[in-house]
Structure 1
Amino acid sequence: MQKELMEKFVEVYGEGGEIREYFAPGRVNLIGEHTDYNGGHVFPCALTLGTYGLARKRDDRKLRFYSVNFSKLGVIESSLDDLIPSDQAGWTNYPKGVMWAFEKRGIQLEHGVDFLIYGNIPNGSGLSSSASLEVLTGLMLKDMFGVEELSMQDLALIGQYSENNFNGMNCGIMDQFASAMGKKDCAIFLDTSTLEFEYAPVQLKDARIVITNSKVKHSLVGSAYNDRRNECETALEELQKELDIRTLGDLSEEEFEAHKSAITSDICRKRAKHAVYENQRTIKAVNALKADNVEEFGKLMNASHVSLRDDYEVSCEEIDILVDLAWQIPGVIGSRITGGGFGGCTVSIVKNDAVDHFIDTIGKQYKEKVGHEAEFYVVDIGDGAHVIA
């Protein structure tokens, strides 16, 4: 992989100079969905799938971008003097947004860059290809320009800031945090209200994590994702008239039930219920995993999907078919939608001796019901973003 990408970089941009290599992973969230912007807990892990980047500093202020995945687009040129979002910029809005966010922090970028990327995260799958690219860009800038004061956690925050304010996607911190801070064979139990976190070993013994891609591509910018956040904010404002809370994540299930009548909209009440209950489910799920109770973890995953389907309404027909099929297969410990929703992937914990049957059975039945094939990834948990030696 590294040799091929280096050869491609030289083919596209020519020889000379110091070419540096980077990697930032995608993520899958095991449980804790749509809690990260509601002050709750999440439990993601970094994948060994991700985005590779090769970069070389230039003597001028020109920016040149090339994606192996979108090779037909050729080299897309821009400049450090043109860090403005535009439809014409396409995927380069993500790295440009990070450069813009660096400069917003007072970090002046004096030299342009030749940048080549390749990602093996399926596009539109909900496994955070955009966050991976943002963290990759941040790491590249930190390394190439010697910005020692920035930590990996800072890079996650910069990535989130750029996606919120440059790309118009009002996401929480989870995706960028998982990509920047991931640790092999561990998930991250993160309190998004304080950014306190711990690494929890994911020891599934005789089971594996299987991601199923519905092949339904979702676009979250300008979509119902931002609506959900606004609905939760409305619910919070109404609850704050009765309660001294900063976020929905501050509430227990009992406190929510006692005060939910303060939320005047039925829709906003459902959204808030999911945020509160999902946060508590996540805390319970991590405790179950620590107690080596994988079966209980799976039950909480299933309950998470029901809540996302019915209360938060971010699932879709294809995803529900995948989850319903998974629940019927012996050896499936738990299965749920993962990611922002409106398509994308499911995540399942499947016993080793059932994985082949899981893939074969769901693959056939999904195609019969939907008309196109799903994709399956039996994944490993990897490290966060890093410079490739």
Structure 2
Amino acid sequence: MIDQEMKQAVLDGFAKEFGDNEGVKCYFAPGRVNLIGEHTDYNGGHVFPCALTIGTYAAARKRTDRVMRFVSLNFDGSRRETSLDDLVPNDPKAGWTNYPKGVVWAFEKRGMKLETGFDMVIIGNIPNGSGLSSSASLEVLTGFAVRDMYGFDVTNQDLALIGQDAENNFNGCNCGIMDQFASAMGKKDNAIFLDTADLSFDYAPIHLDGMKIVVTNTNKKHKLTDSQYNARRSACEHALSQMQTVCDIKGLGDLSIEEFEAHKDAITDDDERVKARHAVYENQRTLDAVAALKAGDLEKFGQLMNASHVSLRDDYDVTGIELDTLAEEAWKVDGVIGSRMTGGGFGGCTVSIVKDEAIDDFKEKVGKAYKDKIGYDCTFYIVSIGDGPRVIE
């Protein structure tokens, strides 16, 4: 079982780095894939992600002083040492440890102060830079471990909000709530139908009889704190402020398509109007997709996935040649129900629903077309829907 293999790897790493693993506990938090509803979460719309069985593992132990020491077995394995007195946002010297440090900072901001530091060794099996939310997984993992070690009274939903706060205000990426929520609230064989405006949600069972979810990685590295992501958010915020002069709304997700079309001229900038159109139409696609899934109409669900990608390509402009090649080649393969980019964009992955008997053909045809056009290989992962964070006994 992979949990036990990964647990042993972090325990061995902890003992090697810190001398022994007496009193160490092991934790897991999943990555996520979003089936539909992209760039809607910070616009007060609906999203439909699910937690995966791949994610991030940690071995951790409290210390008696205020030092925090972090080791990643995925990166160079080198130790990063810091202190509870050195929680400086976006410290370039801290590298990846800004994510766990940001979570500790967000706990302390809420009055939950750690009196002592801790040692933590992590390892993950989420492909790095893939857009499957390795950062949110690490944030939720850190929050879960901190809650367990220090006895703080917070829910898993609180952990999602703490992780988002850390990413927004410590790491400088204005992400919405979806990634952390999917990791913190995951449920096996269910996707999460989440209204990001008020965090109300339902679990929707995913019955893919004779089909699989296939994630295809462009292997193009992306970094969400880049200006492109924050620029999209700023455009939507300005469009919203103009729509609010003619509509009583809190977010673009409050608008029906009819309301948007009736009042869209209030948005004076052409580009911002197109970006807002994506947010409104994508929200409606998500509502329609979940209704189709509940009705057992997977063909309709797949058509909405495809339409989502087209909107992300043409209106929101976050795909790029790599993601477009993967999606457009997938659409040509018999047995593909639907395929679209997932995550922030500018690289990362597509998510496809593929009939079992078509998977080999899908991998061969899409893989060859991608290599011919882009010049290097993509990578395929057949993924399963898993639970949220937990202690690994």
If the length of structure 2 is used for normalisation, what is the TM-score? 0.97
Match of 2:258 among 226, 243, 254: 254
Alpha-carbon distance, 1:4 to partner: 2.7
Answer yes or no: is the 8 Å Cα contact 2:11–2:21 preserved in 1. Answer: no
Match of 2:202 among 186, 198, 217: 198
| 1:115 counterpart SS class | strand
Q: CA RMSD in A?
A: 0.8
Answer yes or no: is the 8 Å Cα contact 2:60–2:120 preserved in 1. Answer: yes
Answer yes or no: is the 8 Å Cα contact 1:41–1:283 preserved in 2. Answer: yes
Q: CA offsets, 1:178-197, max 9 Å, x none? A: 00000000000000001000
> 1:189 maps to what in 2?
193
Paired letter, 1:37 = Y
Q: CA offsets, 1:239-280, max 9 Å, x none? A: 111111111011100110000011000000001000000000
Alpha-carbon distance, 1:356 to partner: 1.1
Alpha-carbon distance, 1:5 to partner: 2.1
| 1:225 counterpart SS class | helix
> 1:28 maps to what in 2?
33
Q: CA offsets, 1:177-231, max 9 Å, x none? A: 0000000000000000010000000111111100000001111113211000110
| 2:333 counterpart SS class | coil
> 1:165 maps to what in 2?
169
> 1:288 maps to what in 2?
292
Match of 1:312 among 309, 316, 325: 316
Answer yes or no: is the 8 Å Cα contact 2:325–2:370 preserved in 1. Answer: yes
Distance between the aligned counterparts of 2:235 and 2:96, measured in 1? 29
Answer yes or no: is the 8 Å Cα contact 1:183–1:383 preserved in 2. Answer: yes
Paired letter, 2:12 = E
Answer yes or no: is the 8 Å Cα contact 1:59–1:111 preserved in 2. Answer: yes
Answer yes or no: is the 8 Å Cα contact 1:125–1:344 preserved in 2. Answer: yes
Distance between the aligned counterparts of 2:65 and 2:310, measured in 1? 53
Written as runs of structure 1 = structure 2, the 5 A alignment for 1:305-384 is: 305-384=309-388
Match of 2:100 among 95, 100, 103: 95
Q: CA offsets, 1:126-183, max 9 Å, x none? A: 0000000000000000000011x20000000000001000000000000000000000
Answer yes or no: is the 8 Å Cα contact 2:71–2:120 preserved in 1. Answer: yes
Alpha-carbon distance, 1:17 to partner: 3.8
Flag structure 1 segments of 5+ consecutive residues without an equivalent.
none
> Deviation above 6 Å: which 4+ runs of structure 1?
none
2:117 matches 1:112: yes
Answer yes or no: is the 8 Å Cα contact 1:31–1:282 preserved in 2. Answer: yes
Distance between the aligned counterparts of 1:224 and 1:376, measured in 2? 26
Distance between the aligned counterparts of 2:166 and 2:273, measured in 1? 30
State the identity as a percent: 64
Paired letter, 1:46 = A
Task: Tell me: CA distance 1:16–1:341, structure 2 relative to 1, closer, same or farther (3 Å).
Answer: closer
Distance between the aligned counterparts of 1:276 and 1:257, measured in 2? 10
Match of 1:40 among 26, 29, 45: 45
| 2:173 counterpart SS class | coil
Distance between the aligned counterparts of 1:3 and 1:24, measured in 2? 16
Flag structure 2 segments of 5+ consecutive residues without an equivalent.
none
2:274 matches 1:235: no
Answer yes or no: is the 8 Å Cα contact 1:168–1:222 preserved in 2. Answer: no
| 1:50 counterpart SS class | strand
Distance between the aligned counterparts of 2:188 and 2:367, measured in 1? 29
Answer yes or no: is the 8 Å Cα contact 1:65–1:116 preserved in 2. Answer: yes
| 2:339 counterpart SS class | strand
Answer yes or no: is the 8 Å Cα contact 1:47–1:380 preserved in 2. Answer: yes
2:211 matches 1:207: yes
Aligned pair count reads 387
Paired letter, 1:12 = E
> 1:216 maps to what in 2?
220
Alpha-carbon distance, 1:81 to partner: 0.6
Distance between the aligned counterparts of 2:40 and 2:8, measured in 1? 40
If the length of structure 1 is used for normalisation, what is the TM-score? 0.98
Paired letter, 1:60 = D
Alpha-carbon distance, 1:3 to partner: 2.0
> 2:75 maps to what in 1?
70
Alpha-carbon distance, 1:16 to partner: 5.3
Distance between the aligned counterparts of 1:275 and 1:22, measured in 2? 36
Paired letter, 1:210 = V
Paired letter, 1:42 = V
Q: CA offsets, 1:304-355, max 9 Å, x none? A: 0000000000000011011110000000010000000111000000011001
Match of 1:153 among 131, 153, 157: 157
Alpha-carbon distance, 1:14 to partner: 1.0
Q: CA offsets, 1:37-65, max 9 Å, x none? A: 00000000000110001101111111110
| 2:145 counterpart SS class | helix
